Structure 1
């Protein structure tokens, strides 16, 4: 499995409530994305950085999302270019489902 973290620095800070409304407006876009297991939206405590934590089946499936069109969508929505970082995720503890997931 692969995790990605996307971040973007906002031009002006937003509140948790503003972020929640924005995130809910884009959340349906990520339903049924091939290979995407989970997405968590994130906002810094001071409201100046937003982004997402993603858990993927594979890097190829992750890379398939982060297209120039996706980058343009994020840039238009938030007014700033996103940064994407990739991480290996060989084991995931999921307390909601009470499972330990492994990519082995």
Structure 2
């Protein structure tokens, strides 16, 4: 499994209510994405940085989404280009499902 963290510094800080409205407007586009296990939208406490934490089945699945078109969409939506960082996630604890998952 792979975790990615996307971050982008906003041109102007936004309030949590505005972030929630924006995030809810894009959330449906991530439903049913092949290989995407979960996405958590994030906003820094000062409202100046936004992004997401994604859990993927594989790096290939993540790279299939982080295309030039996706980068343009995020840049157009938020006014700044995203930075994507990849992490291996060999073990995941899911307290909602009551499971511990390993990639092997």
Displacement after TM superposition at 1:41 (Å): 0.1
Q: Find the counterpart in structure 2 of residue 31 from structure 1.
A: 31
- TM-score (ref. length: structure 2): 0.99
4+ long deviations beyond 3 Å: none
RMSD (Å) for aligned C-alpha atoms = 0.3
- TM-score (ref. length: structure 1): 0.99
Displacement after TM superposition at 1:35 (Å): 0.1
Q: Find the counterpart in structure 2 of residue 48 from structure 1.
A: 48
What SS does the aligned partner of 1:21 have?
helix
Q: Find the counterpart in structure 2 of residue 92 from structure 1.
A: 92
Equivalence map 1:1-104=2 (5 Å) = 1-104=1-104
What are structure 2's unaligned runs of at least 5 residues? Answer: none
Q: Kindly provide the CA deviation profile for residues 41-62 of structure 1, in whole angstroms up to 9, marking residues without a partner as x.
A: 0000000000000000000000
What SS does the aligned partner of 1:46 have?
coil
What SS does the aligned partner of 1:8 have?
strand
Q: Kindly provide the CA deviation profile for residues 62-84 of structure 1, in whole angstroms up to 9, marking residues without a partner as x.
A: 00000000000000000000000
What SS does the aligned partner of 1:13 have?
coil
